[in-house]
C-alpha cells in the first residue's frame, strides 16, 4: 500500500539499525523517551528495540489518551450516564478504562445506562439531532489531535441550535506534560529516570507544529525529533537523536516532514482557540496535578459545557494498589515490574488504564513483548540442560 509499505521495509530498517550501531558511542548510554503511545505500539509491534544497540534504551512516555485519564473523570462520566434519559457518547477505548468500585463505562452500559461508542464527535452531534427529546453528552478525551473535532462539534451544535447537546471536556496538552516529566523529582533530583532526548508526537504535531517543543529543547537541553508512527520513522528518529546527542546539540528536528510543519495547522488551532481556554490545573494519571495542561470550554460556549450544565464536581481517586500505571506513565517502571502484569491484568480484564488501549505500554508489551520475555527466561534453562 502506497505510503505504508515504504515505511515498513525490513531491508531499510536493518540499514538504519546498522547506521545507529555504527554511530553510537559505546562509552555512554542513550536514554530516549517516546512520548506517544503510537510510537510505543510501533516499537513493540515491529520489535524495534531488538534492532537497537544495548546502550540505546527506549522509555515509554505518558502519551496514550486513555492511560492518562484519572479514575475520577471516568467516575464523573458514569454518574452522568446514570441520569435518566441521558445518552453518553465516547470513543471505544474509553469504555473499558477501570473506574471506582470495579466499574467501567462498559459495565455501566451492561447495567442499563445508555452509553454509545462513537467514531467521531460528529457522530455524537448526529445522535443529538436524532434524539431531540434526550440530553446527549459527548465525553471528550485526548490530546491536541482530537481537540479540533470537538471544537467543530460544539460549533455545529450551536449553528443548528441543538440545545440537548453538550461536551464533557477532558482534552489535555502535550507540551505541558513533557515539561512536567522533565521537572519531576525522578528526573531532576533522584536521577532515577535518565532522559537524554525525546521522540516527539506525530499526529499531535500535525496540529500544533514543531514550534511548541522549541522552548523545552532549549530550556532543558534535551533534543526532540518529531517522528511518524511507522517503524522506519521511529528508526530514523532514533538515528537523528543519536547524532544530536553525539554532537552535543539539543534542537527540535522534524523527521515527519510529510505531515508536520513548524507552525502546524492554522485552521485547527484557530478553531481550538475559539472554543477552548486553558485550565489552571488538571489531574493526569501518573503525573498528578499538572498546571495549564488541559482545556475547558470558554464562557462563550457555556451552553454546551456539560461540566456547567450538570454541575460536575471532580474528586481525585487513587489507583488500584496493585497497579503500577502511575510509575509506568512517568517512565520510572516497565510493564513487567508490575506484579499482576499478564496474570490478573490482561487486555480482556484490565486492572489499570495502561492495559486498555493498544497504545498503552502494558497492552503493547502484553501483545508483542511477553513471548520474548518467556524466550529469554527459557534460553538459559535450555543451555543448562545441554
* Residues forming the site for ligand SF4 (CB under 6 A): 322-325, 328, 335, 338, 340-341, 345, 350-352, 354-355, 362
Nearer to ligand SF4, 2 or 321 (CB): 321
d(CA 309, CA 304): 8
Which CB atom, from 10 or from 318, has the smaller least distance to ligand SF4? 318
DSSP for 224-238, please give it: EEE--SSHHHHHHHH
* Least spacing, CB of residue 226 vs ligand SF4, in Å: 27
What's the grid cell of residue 185? 523529582
The CA-atom distances, in angstroms, between 197 and each of 48, 223, 248 are: 17, 5, 11
Rounded CA gap, 187 and 292, in Å?
Answer: 20
Q: Which is nearer to ligand SF4, 12 or 327 (CB)?
A: 327
The residues near 127 (Cβ < 8 Å, ≥ 6 apart) are 87, 89, 116, 118, 136
- Report the nearest approach of ligand SF4 to the CB of residue 238 (Å): 25
Q: Which H helix or E strand runs over 204?
A: helix 203-208
Of the two residues 71 and 328, which places its CB atom closer to ligand SF4 in the complex?
328
- The CB-of-350 to ligand SF4 minimum distance in angstroms stands at 6
The secondary structure of 36-52 as a DSSP string is EHHHHHHHHHTTHHHHS
**Residue nearest to ligand SF4 as judged by C-beta position:** 352
- Report the distance separating Cα 326 and Cα 335, nearest Å: 11
Q: How far is the CB of 365 from ligand SF4 (least distance, A)?
A: 9
Residue 203 CB, nearest approach to ligand SF4 (Å): 23
Chain-centroid distance, C-alpha 189 = 25
Tell me how far, at minimum, the Cβ of 22 lies from ligand SF4, in Å: 36
Nearer Cβ to ligand SF4 (321/385)? 321
* Closest CB to ligand SF4 among residues 203, 333: 333
Amino acid at each position: 500500500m502506497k505510503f505504508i509499505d515504504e515505511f515498513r521495509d525490513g531491508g531499510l530498517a536493518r540499514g538504519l539499525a546498522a547506521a545507529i550501531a555504527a554511530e553510537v558511542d559505546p562509552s555512554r548510554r542513550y536514554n530516549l523517551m517516546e512520548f506517544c503511545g503510537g510510537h510505543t505500539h510501533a516499537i513493540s509491534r515491529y520489535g524495534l528495540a531488538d534492532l537497537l544497540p544495548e546502550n540505546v534504551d527506549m522509555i515509554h512516555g505518558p502519551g496514550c489518551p486513555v492511560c492518562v485519564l484519572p479514575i475520577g473523570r471516568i467516575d464523573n462520566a458514569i454518574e452522568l450516564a446514570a441520569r435518566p434519559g441521558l445518552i453518553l457518547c465516547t470513543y471505544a477505548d474509553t469504555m473499558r478504562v477501570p473506574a471506582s468500585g470495579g466499574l467501567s463505562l462498559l459495565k455501566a452500559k451492561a447495567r442499563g445506562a445508555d452509553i454509545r461508542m462513537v467514531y467521531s464527535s460528529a457522530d455524537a452531534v448526529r445522535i443529538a439531532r436524532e434524539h431531540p427529546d434526550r440530553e446527549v453528552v459527548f465525553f471528550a478525551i485526548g490530546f491536541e489531535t482530537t481537540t479540533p473535532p470537538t471544537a467543530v462539534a460544539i460549533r455545529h451544535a450551536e449553528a443548528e441550535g441543538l440545545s440537548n447537546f453538550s461536551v464533557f471536556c477532558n482534552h489535555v496538552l502535550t507540551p505541558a506534560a513533557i515539561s512536567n516529566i522533565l521537572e519531576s523529582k525522578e528526573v531532576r533530583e533522584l536521577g532515577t529516570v535518565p532522559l537524554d532526548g525525546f521522540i516527539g508526537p506525530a499526529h499531535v504535531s500535525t496540529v500544533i507544529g514543531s514550534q511548541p517543543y522549541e522552548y523545552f529543547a532549549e530550556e532543558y537541553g534535551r533534543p526532540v525529533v518529531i517522528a511518524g508512527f511507522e517503524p522506519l520513522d521511529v528508526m530514523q528518529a532514533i538515528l537523528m537523536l543519536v547524532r544530536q546527542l553525539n554532537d552535543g546539540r539539543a534542537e527540535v528536528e522534524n523527521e515527519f516532514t510529510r505531515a508536520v510543519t513548524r507552525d502546524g495547522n492554522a485552521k485547527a488551532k484557530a478553531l481550538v482557540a475559539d472554543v477552548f481556554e486553558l485550565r489552571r490545573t488538571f489531574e493526569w494519571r501518573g503525573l498528578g496535578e499538572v498546571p495549564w495542561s488541559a482545556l475547558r470550554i470558554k464562557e462563550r460556549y457555556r451552553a454546551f459545557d456539560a461540566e456547567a450544565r450538570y454541575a460536575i464536581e471532580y474528586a481525585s481517586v487513587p489507583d488500584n494498589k496493585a497497579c503500577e500505571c502511575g510509575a509506568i506513565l512517568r517512565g520510572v517502571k516497565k510493564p513487567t515490574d508490575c506484579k499482576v502484569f499478564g496474570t490478573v491484568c490482561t487486555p480482556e480484564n484490565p486492572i489499570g488504564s495502561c492495559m486498555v488501549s493498544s497504545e498503552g505500554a502494558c497492552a503493547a508489551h502484553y501483545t508483542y513483548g511477553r513471548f520474548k520475555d518467556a524466550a529469554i527466561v527459557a534460553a538459559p534453562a535450555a543451555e543448562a540442560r545441554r
